[in-house]
Chains A and B, each alone.
Chain A
Amino acid sequence: MAISPPTGSRTRVAVLVLASVTLLTVGLRDAPVVREVREGASAVIDPVEGAVDRVTAPVRNAWHGVTDYDDIQRENDELRAQAEAGAAAGVQTSDAERQLAELSASLDLPWAGNVETATARVVSGPRSNFSHAIEIDKGTDDGIAVGMPVVTGGGLVGRVSHATGGSSMVELLTDPEFRVGVRLSTTGDLGTARGQGRDDPLSVDSAISPGAKVPEETGVVSSGVDRSAYPPGIPVGTVASSRQGSGGLALDLDVDPLVDVDQLSYVTVMLWTDGG
């Protein structure tokens, strides 16, 4: 048995699919009109979202209490252990901080404090399964612009992808479209890290010889090479594994991000754009 819709249905589906493909094409070219329309929609929907968010918070908290109970318990155990270790490490840390401050002053490292920052609260997480963006409560009114790096004390979180007066969207480093130039903290080897989705490590295409050994836990920081979108030295992650890249000419690395992007409450926007 075969089915066929009436001619009117065919016309309608053809028109709407064609319209979708046209929008997709225009959107992929990053047309200003799409950006403006999205910003307008964001300005309208954000206050409504905020109000509903506040009203429904108890329900969502109850849900998290049920579904995330094991995670919360594990985090509590980890935090307790960290607090105990932290007391012992306090003396060492203060000395290390003093040395780092002196080093930073002499080398002019932006990550270490020469860049102005704005601290923002995360007001919503990714809105769909294919979205890798969070919304923060600071925008252009606070000096934030598209492209600025977003970090926490742990390291790189992502970059500002949209900004309106009072809020911004941050593209997370787990986004498959996200790219950042990186270098290994031990050898200085360069590469490009890209997101591979939620819960997956970053993939780094490097120029490292396939015969070389890259130890696990090796630190990876932003390279900040010429015209980079990020200042140098922002901690990105640690090497989880290495393998021969396609073609066998170089190593590809899997890098675990230092920041857990699912657990963000506050982030810091570095008021830094390409070229400083």
Chain B
Amino acid sequence: MAPRRLTPLRGALVLVVALVAQIAIVADLRVVGAVGDLMLLVTVAAALTGGPDRGVTYGFFAGLAFDLVLDSPFGLSALTYAVVGYGVGLVCGGLFRPTGWWPLAVAAVAALLATAFYTGVGHLIGIPYPWEDLPAITAAVALWNAALVLPVMAVMRWVHGPTEPDRLEVVLR
């Protein structure tokens, strides 16, 4: 198990590496006209391995880091990823255990939710992101997420150790 004092450092390292990889590499590799989203991927992997608490925390800080280097509304990525991280953690922690190929499906669905949420909130605050772009963006992000979610989940287990705190905290009714 990773020493607890190293966990925040490792978590921050993962976010920084993901951010640099996103803007220097992934942003240039278009699939069906859109690019992948490593910050969302880290959020989903954190939620899948650690539940809603970890999902919302990673989502917020991943989004905040991404917002720092984008020209889009500051805080919108943080809000989107926090909500998606929490939702993924809650559903996967409470309803079923995402094993086998399930994480790939969850990561792909999370791409749709995040893209739709971002676009919707954009409209609410007066930025008309085209809804027509949604399928292409979702497809690209879903492909990247599905392809990389298992290795990134392994990275999250390296960061936090093989614990499942949130799964134990979730109450089934």
A residues contacting B by CB (< 8 A) are 1-6, 8-9, 12-13, 16-17, 19-28, 34, 37-38, 41-42, 45, 48-49, 52-53, 56, 59-60, 63, 67, 124-133, 161-162, 169, 171, 176-177, 196-200
B118 / chain A contacts, CB cutoff of 8 Å: 130
B27 and A176 form a contact (CB under 8 A): no
Given A8-B53, A49-B24, A198-B33, are A3 and B68 also a contact pair (CB < 8 Å)?
Answer: no
Tell me the complex Cα distance, A45–B66, Å. 11
CB distance from A182 to the nearest CB of B (A): 19
CB distance from B157 to the nearest CB of A (A): 20
A129 and B79 form a contact (CB under 8 A): no
B21 and A52 form a contact (CB under 8 A): yes
B residues contacting A by CB (< 8 A) are 19-25, 27-31, 33-35, 37, 51-53, 56-57, 59-60, 63-64, 66-79, 82-83, 86, 90-91, 93-95, 115, 118-119, 122, 125, 127-130, 132-133, 137, 140-141, 166, 169-173
Tell me the complex Cα distance, A41–B129, Å. 25
A128 and B72 form a contact (CB under 8 A): yes
Q: Is the interface of B mostly helix, strand, loop or mixed?
A: helix
Shortest 7 CB-CB contacts between residues of A and residues of B = A27-B74, A23-B75, A3-B94, A24-B75, A20-B79, A41-B68, A52-B24
A129 and B141 form a contact (CB under 8 A): yes
B74 and A38 form a contact (CB under 8 A): yes
Tell me the complex Cα distance, A16–B78, Å. 9
Tell me the complex Cα distance, A37–B24, Å. 20
Ordered by A's residue number, 11 sampled pairs between the chains whose C-beta atoms are within 8 Å are: A3-B93, A3-B173, A4-B170, A6-B171, A8-B53, A21-B79, A37-B68, A52-B20, A52-B24, A52-B25, A171-B71
A45 and B69 form a contact (CB under 8 A): yes
B115 / chain A contacts, CB cutoff of 8 Å: 129
Tell me the complex Cα distance, A129–B66, Å. 12
B137 and A129 form a contact (CB under 8 A): yes
A127 and B75 form a contact (CB under 8 A): no
A12 and B68 form a contact (CB under 8 A): no
Tell me the complex Cα distance, A45–B23, Å. 10
Not counting A28-B73, A133-B71, a sample of 12 additional A-B residue pairs whose C-beta atoms are within 8 angstroms of each other reads A1-B95, A3-B173, A4-B171, A13-B56, A20-B79, A20-B82, A24-B76, A26-B74, A26-B75, A34-B74, A126-B27, A129-B133
Contact of B83 among A17, A23, A34, A67 (CB under 8 A): A17
B35 / chain A contacts, CB cutoff of 8 Å: 126, 128-129
B30 / chain A contacts, CB cutoff of 8 Å: 67
